Amino acid sequence: MPSNIRIKTINHVGIPVWDRRVSLKFYRDILGLQVIPSMVDSPNIVWTKTLDGTMVHLIEPSDGENLGAPHTAFEVEDFDAAVESLRASGYPNISDTGERHDGQSYIFIDDNDGNRLEFATASGLRASSRVADALGYTTESGDNVVADSPSKIQILTINHIGLPINDRAECMGMYRDLLNINVIPHQVTGNTLAWTGMQDGSMVHVIDPPKSVGPRGDSRQHVAFEVVDIEATAEALIEADIEIIDGIGTRNDGQHAMFVYDPDGNRIEIATRGDHSETTRTVDENGYTNEDGALL
């Protein structure tokens, strides 16, 4: 059955953290993300957003003891059609649908490699009077604390997410065939990953084995934030004592990128927007990319 899923963009990512007091010093005070009222009842989730409204949810252990898994939430054009296709797909661990306080509908499913994926409508479909304090603790009414961040860093949006996979051809059954995300030529050296791009240019990079072990597990799993000025961002990170562990590097399409870790060891990439519209690279259906007829 052909899939009816059409993805517009990344609505948000969920990043597991131990303690918001520690995490917000990084995400709010250094990266400049804005804390916004949470539209869910779970008290352990901090809602924040980038400048274009793409959200980052910081998720503390719901039981106080066990760190959760990261997830990526895609915004779809037609939610009911997406639910129908997901239910028919046979992918594991599908959840029930639910609706948040702002009217956003959602459903979860796993890919073949256990990556947790969420599919949702747009946010803010219904007005909400919920308010958040500076730490993101949200109540039904009161004063909303929106503090200007002292940060010079301006995170525009999420550029891409990196997901660890085990079998490229198999994983394309999800991202290419079910989710209808375009396989595009990647702009790096080697063929250890595949790039896929959505309507608005945001991307999913699926990354082959071997594991890349970072402070908190497999660092193939990462979120890439997009900035305009990566040099100024690097300076601000260094000023804030954040170690840049890799970069600033430049990709084939001119995209600049560097990597840092958040206080819990989640791998975070800071990147600029590349322009691969004029690429001479070609790509096969599984993302293996050629330049001048030679496999990279």
Binding of residue 158 to Fe ion (CB under 5 A) = no
Compute the least distance from the CB of residue 255 to Fe ion, in Å: 9
Whether the CB-CB separation of 21 and 135 falls below 8 Å is answered with yes
Euclidean distance between CA atoms 164 and 197, whole angstroms: 17
Binding of residue 14 to Fe ion (CB under 5 A) = yes
Q: 111 or 118: whose CB is closer to Fe ion?
A: 118
Q: Which of 121, 116, 120 is nearest to 91 (CA)?
A: 116
Euclidean distance between CA atoms 23 and 97, whole angstroms: 29
Q: 102 or 269: whose CB is closer to Fe ion?
A: 269
Amino acid making up residue 131: V
Compute the least distance from the CB of residue 222 to Fe ion, in Å: 6
Binding of residue 230 to Fe ion (CB under 5 A) = no
Binding of residue 136 to Fe ion (CB under 5 A) = no
Residue that the structure tokens 């957003």 belong to:
49
Q: 29 or 184: whose CB is closer to Fe ion?
A: 184
- Residue 120 phi/psi, 5-degree rounding, is -145, 160
Question: What does 217-282 look like in DSSP terms, one character per residue?
Answer: EETT-EEEEE-S-HHHHHHHHHHTT----EEEEE-TTS-EEEEEE-TT--EEEEEPPP--TT---E
Whether the CB-CB separation of 71 and 59 falls below 8 Å is answered with no
Binding of residue 269 to Fe ion (CB under 5 A) = yes
Q: Which stretch binds Fe ion (CB under 5 A): 12-20, 28-36, 62-70, 140-148?
A: 12-20
Compute the least distance from the CB of residue 59 to Fe ion, in Å: 8
DSSP-derived pairing of the beta strands 131-132 and 213-214: unpaired
Q: Which stretch binds Fe ion (CB under 5 A): 75-83, 86-94, 115-123, 140-148?
A: 115-123
Q: 39 or 172: whose CB is closer to Fe ion?
A: 39
Q: How many residues bind Fe ion (CB under 5 A)?
A: 6
Binding of residue 59 to Fe ion (CB under 5 A) = no
Which one of 32, 37, 136, 162 is in contact with Fe ion (CB under 5 A)? Answer: 162
Joined together, the tokens standing for residue 30 give 């250094």
Compute the least distance from the CB of residue 118 to Fe ion, in Å: 5
Compute the least distance from the CB of residue 130 to Fe ion, in Å: 17
Binding of residue 118 to Fe ion (CB under 5 A) = yes
Which residues sit at the interface with Fe ion, rule CB under 5 A? 14, 73, 118, 162, 224, 269
